[in-house]
Every structure is written in C-alpha cells, then in structure tokens.
C-alpha cells in the first residue's frame, strides 16, 4: 500500500502529525512504519493531551518504591514486602463486545502486575452503565460481569471489591476499569528497562493472531454509527493460558536471567519493544519471521499491531536461553528468540530477509506530540433554594425506600456473587463493605483496597469532585482500619478536543492532586481514557480512584455490621445539611442543579487520622463512611449487615430531619462504641477538635427514626436487595 496523507488520517493521525513523521524520518514511511507511528502516537499510548497535566500530580512518598512510568506502581508495606498495583480502562472494547472486552481488561491489568514479579492477590473493578431503561444496558451489564468473573475466576485471583453505577451519560459508552494488586519481595521486583548490547529478545506466551489489530487506536477514537464494524479490534482472551504464563514467568523470575520484561498490551509487540528500548536508550532488532503466529500469511504490519493476549517480551542475559526455554516448554507455552538489543537506537524489523521498518526510537517516544489543549474553567453552580414545605410533606419511610432501592445504592450482591472472592484463602473482608481486605500470607499484616468514583460531583464542579473522590477512597480505607498509603487512578473523559471536556479533565486532575498532596496519599500508577463519547455526546467526567492501605495487625480490622445491642452509634464529622447533587435531591426532588458538597481537607485528614487512633486502641466495634445517600443510608446498611436495629435521634441542630439524614456533607463516619468506652472516645474526639453527634442506641431488629417512624430490618433488606435481582431476572 502506498502511504499518503489520507492513509495516515485513516490510521487516526492528524495531517500535521503525518507531516511531522515525514520530517523526522526525512522520507515517507512505509505502511508498517505508519502503523507503528499510529499506535505509538495515539492518545491511549502517548498521553499526548494529558501529559502536561499529569506531571502536576504528587507521585512520591515514604512508602513509594516505584511511581508512574512502569507497568504498575509499587509501595513498601514493610518486612521486605511490597504491593504492586494499577487500574486501567477497557471501555471501548467492552461496549463493542462486553464479555471479551471486560475479560481481556482483567487479563491485561493482571499481566501489568505480574510483569513486575508480583503474584496477583486481588482484583477490583469500577464499572459504569447507561440508564437501566436503555435497551442495551442489561445485556452489557450481564456480559461485562460474566467477562470479569470468567477471567478472574479461572486465574484463581479473588475479586474483593468494586463499584457499579448507572447514568444515562453512559448509554453510548460504558466504562470498565479493572484493578489488580500483587505481592512481591522488594528485592525481586522486575522492570521494563532494556540494558546491554546483543542481548537476546525473547517472545513468550500465546501465538500472535489477527485479533485486536488497531485496538489501541480504536480506544483513542469516538464511537459512531459504524460501531459494529469495530468488533475485530476487540481482543480475545484465554485465562487458562494466562495462568500458565503467570506461573512460567514467576518461575523464571526466581532465577537471575531476566534483564527486562514487558507485557504485550495496547499496541502489542510495537509498544512493548519500543518502550523497553526507549527506557534503556538502546535499539532493538527483530526478525518477524520468528514470531510465533497462529494464522497464515500474516504481514509485518499485522504482526506488529496485533493485540493478541497472553504474550510477553523479555530481554535475557546471554546464555540463559536454553534454561528459560525449558521452563516455558514445561508450561506448554511458545518460546522464541526473535531479536536482540543493539546500539543503533532504532527499532529495526526484518521479514523475508528484507528490512521492513527502521525507525529511531526517540521519534516514537520523545518526539511524540504533546498538546496543550484549550480548556474552559468550570463555574461553581449556585445553590438551590429548596422549599422547607416540600421537605415537610415527605414521608421519611417512603423516601428511605426509594433511596435504598435506587440502582446506585442498592445491593450489588448479584454482581459480586459471580466473582470468586475467597480463592487463595486470604480474603478477610469480601465485597459489600467499605474496602476489600486480604491478609499478607504468613504474616499479621493485611492490605485493604477500594475503588471509587463520583461522576455527578465531578460534572457539577470538577475541581471539587476531584478532591471528593480521593477523600472517598481515603475514608473507605480508614473505615476498615487501614492506613491509606497510595492511589492509582483511571481518568475517564470525553474528547480532549472539546474545551469543556478538557476543562473537566484539567480541573479534576487539579482536585485529585490537591487532595493527594494534603492527605499524603500519592499517585503511583494510572491510566487516561479519552474519547468516551458517541456522536459528540460524552460521558460525565469519571475519575476512578483505586486506593490501597495497610493494616499492620489484621485482627484489628473493622467491618460495617452492627455488633451488639445497647451499643451506641456516633456520627464523626459535622453535618451541615448539604442536599445539592445528593441522591435525595436528584431522585426525590428531581433537582439536578447546584454545587457538590464542599471538601474540607483539614477535616478529612483530622477526622480520618483520629478514627484510626480510636481503631488502633480497640475502641471501635464497627464503622462505615457516610457518602452517597447520607447518614440514613449508611446506618441502614450497617443495620442490614448486622441484622440489628437502632433508635435514631436527630441532634438539636437548626436543620430538619431530611437535611440531617439525607445530606451528603463530606468527611463523616458512623462508628459503633460501647457505653463504657463513650467517655474515652469523646475525650479523644474533643481533644482533636473532631465534631461528633450521638446518633442512637442499637436494638434488636427495628430502625426507629425520632420515635415517629419505624422500619423493620426485613423491610430494609427488601428495599435494598430487590431492585437488581428483579432487574436481571426479567
């Protein structure tokens, strides 16, 4: 094929980008070279619209071993142990083909983790779908859930936590964000930087096919009416092969033969070889005839751009080839020496004894485009004037029923019951709590993890929403007794070429950065997913935050279920009665305007650290953070989990019942304590200037609200569990 400007445009490149390529090469690229540039310069691989802003995020801290720039982030959890973790998107593939899109998203993020030498110990996910009434939503939900479960379960890695939401902005573009945690010894961490000359470059894993070609480019484009034509760009996963690949790689890693290792994810052999060469300031020479292929007559273009799954690229020490091959033969995996490192600083490809590509590595990486996109600053919306009479006429039990059965609040048990959350035997807090928790096998330590997002808050005011979602992650970790250590983020937005969308991204990132910096909660890995839109209609801005924390003694872990009758429940943090953008305002009053609740970072840090002190001293019996749906929703879930009731009383504030119980003010927790510990707890809270309210006393099985309203625990369970079960059964 003759390469020209139109062919470049058809590959997703801009006209000026094609011109720049020709200038850098001092010639017109051939079709294979053009394909390589289109893969490396697309949004998904190059971060060309986001790099300027991502640099502003705090990425260092006492526990940080490896920040952004590697396959995954790494944090120190003591005793020579480290946690490797990352979250990534697989949005477009999952909308096109939900089962395989979600499955290969899980497979890809696990490879990112074990590429660094870590055995995966936990999976999480953040999945977002369109309106439940939309014709595609139910099938997409079913396919994605089955894909996540199908891959993770076969790999034998527990899925310990997640998040699911519904919003009409996802009707034409669902989000599937997958996260994995792995455990590794600090002296056995592996990196992707190639080193040394004439070192063998090894291909291992599955054979290369034609599936997934242009997958990375497709992920960097908006959807249109031709969406069905993009199905061939979706990769096909095989978890059983990945399990073999995991074990083979870890066995090889136990020795001293690996110089560098990189999984073949987005853009396949192209990105893996170029990233390794770039980090090592080397060249790589590859004979494409030696790449194991499962389809006949594959071209160099197809081999380089294929995104076939379950493949790795390794640079070995000289003389270690036979030793390594024996391991991969034992696990019945392909093993091929396909090239070597060189001093040329070029990626050189050979096929049928001809040189079919010769590109300086720096033109693909250092010289890739960086855009300082125009963006619009968001204005803080005016507060709504909610009429007190409208609130007085509401029956609180009816409101509670509507809130607890809302698709974004209701129990997601139908989803997580399809995931194996106990395999490996170290899960000590399963899905459904504030965070999932797994023990570090053979120690007293445990690792907590959660994943959170808040598209509504970010849409209303992205700077505040960015802060809030970090704080939500912070609170979810503290609620189980974990010290928050670091985050990974998956930033899902519309087109960066739209000034409003770009403004949402810039200000969300700013908010994330400010919160992470203040809370000493650094960003160690992540992913940006732009162009989440169909025909110019974009999603609400949706940054997903995966938080990781450490519990030094797992016996001190806290759960949210109410424990004992006659114990007391406190609200930690001040309730101001903020209803704008709350679940109550949007779903009961049908009010979609107004600002999100303010975020006070001092209070978030102070309240959280004080609660950790109380937990450490054994004064807290159960805890749950207050978020979507307010105090009444949080306490209802604690009642359901513990099969206990509570007699609630509203403090003598000026705000009314509805405002107190349904507002979504930030920085708050519900905690259960004994009467005998009340004074000690109150003294610590007062000493640290932490506001608290007495909420009520635990009873057998009735939720009383100011003596006027009572709801049985069975009613609460029905309210909360029936919607999703009914929805999926129809």
Position 274 scores a pLDDT of 97
Give the predicted TM-score (pTM) of the model.
0.95
Exactly one of 44, 53, 214, 578 is catalytic; name it. Answer: 44
Give the three-class secondary structure for 426: coil
Exactly one of 11, 53, 90, 128 is catalytic; name it. Answer: 90
448 neighbors 475 (Cβ within 8 angstroms): no
b vs e for 577-595, b when ≥16 Cβ sit within 10 Å of the residue's Cβ? Answer: bbbbbbbbbbbbbebeebb
Q: Count CA atoms closer than 13 A to 209's CA, side-chain side.
A: 14
Q: How far, in Å, are 434, 448, 703 from residue 477 at the CA level?
A: 7, 6, 27
Q: Count CA atoms closer than 13 A to 553's CA, side-chain side.
A: 7
**Is 146 tagged catalytic?**
no
b vs e for 373-386, b when ≥16 Cβ sit within 10 Å of the residue's Cβ? Answer: bebeebeeeeebeb
Q: Tokens 């162009």 map to which residue?
A: 531
Q: How far apart are the first and last CA of the chain?
A: 51
Residue 250 has φ and ψ, to the nearest 5°, of -65, -35
123 neighbors 158 (Cβ within 8 angstroms): yes
208 neighbors 301 (Cβ within 8 angstroms): no
Rounded Cα gap, residues 724 and 727, in angstroms: 5
Position 423 scores a pLDDT of 95
Position 278 scores a pLDDT of 97
Rounded Cα gap, residues 128 and 532, in angstroms: 12
457 neighbors 596 (Cβ within 8 angstroms): yes
Query: DSSP class of residue 541?
Result: P
Q: What string of H, E and C letters represents the secondary structure of 261-282? A: EEECCCCHHHHHHHHHHHHHCC
Residue 60 has φ and ψ, to the nearest 5°, of -120, 155
**Is 44 tagged catalytic?**
yes
DSSP string, 46-95: H-TTTHHHHTTS----TTEEE-BTBSSEEEEEETTEEEEEEEEE-HHHHH
644 neighbors 701 (Cβ within 8 angstroms): yes
CA–chain centroid gap for 410, Å, is: 21
Question: Which mean pLDDT values do the consecutive 10-residue runs of the chain (730 residues) have?
Answer: 94 96 97 96 94 97 97 98 97 95 96 98 98 97 97 97 97 97 98 97 96 61 54 80 98 97 92 97 98 96 95 98 98 98 98 98 95 96 82 90 97 96 95 97 97 97 98 98 98 96 98 98 97 90 98 98 98 96 95 96 98 98 98 98 95 86 97 98 98 96 90 97 95
Position 213 scores a pLDDT of 83
Binning the chain into helix, strand and coil, the percentages to the nearest 5 are: 40, 25, 35
286 neighbors 349 (Cβ within 8 angstroms): yes
């Amino acid at each position: 094929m003759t390469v020209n400007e139109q062919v470049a445009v058809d590959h997703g490149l801009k006209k000026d980008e094609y011109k720049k390529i020709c200038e850098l090469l001092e010639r017109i690229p051939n079709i294979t070279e053009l394909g390589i540039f289109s893969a490396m310069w697309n949004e998904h691989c190059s971060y060309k619209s986001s790099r300027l802003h991502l640099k502003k995020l705090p990425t260092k801290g006492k526990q940080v071993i490896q920040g952004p720039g590697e396959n995954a982030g790494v944090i120190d959890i003591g005793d020579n142990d480290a946690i490797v973790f990352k979250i990534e998107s697989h949005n477009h593939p999952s909308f096109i083909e939900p089962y395989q899109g979600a499955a290969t998203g899980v497979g890809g993020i696990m490879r990112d983790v074990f590429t660094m030498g870590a055995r995966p110990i936990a999976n999480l996910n953040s999945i977002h779908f369109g309106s439940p009434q939309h014709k595609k939503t139910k099938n997409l939900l079913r396919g994605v859930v089955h894909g996540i479960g199908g891959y993770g379960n076969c790999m034998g890695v527990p899925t310990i936590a997640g998040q699911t939401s519904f919003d009409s902005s996802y009707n034409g573009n669902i989000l599937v964000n997958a996260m994995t945690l792995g455990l590794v010894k600090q002296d056995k961490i592996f990196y992707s930087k190639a080193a040394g000359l004439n070192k063998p470059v090894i291909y291992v894993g599955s054979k290369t096919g034609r599936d997934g070609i242009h997958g990375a480019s497709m992920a960097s484009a908006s959807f249109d009416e031709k969406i069905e034509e993009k199905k061939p760009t979706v990769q096909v996963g095989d978890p059983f092969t990945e399990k073999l690949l995991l074990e083979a790689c870890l066995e090889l890693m136990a020795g001293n033969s690996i110089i560098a290792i990189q999984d073949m994810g987005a853009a396949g052999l192209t990105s893996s070889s170029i990233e390794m060469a770039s980090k090592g300031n080397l060249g790589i020479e590859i004979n494409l005839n030696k790449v194991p292929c499962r389809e006949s007559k594959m071209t160099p273009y197809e081999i380089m751009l294929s995104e076939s799954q379950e493949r790795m690229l390794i640079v070995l020490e000289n003389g270690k080839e036979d030793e390594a091959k024996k391991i991969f033969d034992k696990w019945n995996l392909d093993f091929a020496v396909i090239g070597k490192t060189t001093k040329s600083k070029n990626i050189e490809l050979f096929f049928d004894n001809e040189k079919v590509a010769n590109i300086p590595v720096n033109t693909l990486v250092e010289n890739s485009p960086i855009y300082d996109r125009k963006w619009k600053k968001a204005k803080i919306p005016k507060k709504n004037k909610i009429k007190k009479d409208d609130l007085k006429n509401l029956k609180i039990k009816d409101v509670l029923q509507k809130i607890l059965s809302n698709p974004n609040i209701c129990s997601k048990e139908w989803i997580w019951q399809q995931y194996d959350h106990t395999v490996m035997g170290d899960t000590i807090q399963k899905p459904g709590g504030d965070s999932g928790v797994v023990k570090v096998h053979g120690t007293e330590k445990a690792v907590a993890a959660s994943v959170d997002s808040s598209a509504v808050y970010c849409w209303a005011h992205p700077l505040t929403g960015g802060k809030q979602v970090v704080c939500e992650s912070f609170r979810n970790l503290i609620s189980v007794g974990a010290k928050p250590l670091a985050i990974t983020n998956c930033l899902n937005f519309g087109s960066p070429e739209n000034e409003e969308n770009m403004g949402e991204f810039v200000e969300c990132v700013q908010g994330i950065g400010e919160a992470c910096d203040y809370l000493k909660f650094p960003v160690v890995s992540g992913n940006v997913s732009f162009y989440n839109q169909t025909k110019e209609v974009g999603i609400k801005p949706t940054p997903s935050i995966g938080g990781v924390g450490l519990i030094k003694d797992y016996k001190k872990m806290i759960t949210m279920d109410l424990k004992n009758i006659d114990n007391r429940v406190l609200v930690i943090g001040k309730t101001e009665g903020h209803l704008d953008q709350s679940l109550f305002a949007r779903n009961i009053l049908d009010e979609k305007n107004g600002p999100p609740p303010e975020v006070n970072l001092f209070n978030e840090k102070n309240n959280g650290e004080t609660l950790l002190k109380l937990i450490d001293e054994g004064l807290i019996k159960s805890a749950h953070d207050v978020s979507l749906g307010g105090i009444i929703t949080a306490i209802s879930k604690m009642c359901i989990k513990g099969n206990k009731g509570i007699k609630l009383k509203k403090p003598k504030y000026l705000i009314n019942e509805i405002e107190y119980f349904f507002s979504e003010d930030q920085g708050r927790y519900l905690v259960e304590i004994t009467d005998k510990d009340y004074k000690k707890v109150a003294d610590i809270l007062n000493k640290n200037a932490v506001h608290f309210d007495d909420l009520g006393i635990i009873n057998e099985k009735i939720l009383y609200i100011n003596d006027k309203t009572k709801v049985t625990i069975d009613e609460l369970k029905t309210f909360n569990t029936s919607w999703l079960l009914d929805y999926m059964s129809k």
